[in-house]
Amino acid sequence: MSDAQNKIIKKFWFWLSISVNLGFLGVFKYYNFFAQSFAEAIANFGLHINPWTLKVILPVGISFYTFHGLSYVIDIYKDRIKAEKNFVDYSVFVSFFPLLVAGPIERATHLLPQIQETRTFDYANAVDGLRQILWDFLKK
């Protein structure tokens, strides 16, 4: 394939990913509003629908996960990083809990290399960490 064809394909997948991510966000954020409006509109025709059966529960942190995923896609599109082939590393990046509760949206170029880094167990550090956790529990 030529370079121009690769760019077109890359742009297609980029915009498809952006659309799907924002589409999911839009559905979860606004579905209940439109379901209520739909139930009211149908009621004008004499059909009564219980809007409770149309409700969708909003997943916790949907905006965070959407924008975090978008930052990953944008970094790939702009050739800042290569696409992650390891599903576990990608999942850890997207769902990294401390960022969910504290923010901000972290770029894949910063966090993925730290996730992929080879780590070794250090007994002294583990003991020190557990000692600090225990001390904080006692202070509480």
CA dist., res. 105 & res. 54, Å (int): 32
Q: What is the dihedral of CA 12, 15, 21, 26, to 10 degrees?
A: -130
Q: Can you give the pLDDT at residue 35?
A: 74
Which residue has tokens 């004499």? 46
Q: Can you give the pLDDT at residue 94?
A: 80
Read off the pLDDT of each residue in 11-38 and give the average, rounded to a whole number: 85
CA dist., res. 109 & res. 71, Å (int): 10
Q: Are 112 and 89 in contact (CB under 8 A)?
A: yes
Q: Which amino acid is at 57?
A: I
* Prediction pTM value: 0.65
Confidence of residue 11 (pLDDT cuts 50, 70, 90): very high
For the chain, give every domain's residue range: 3-139
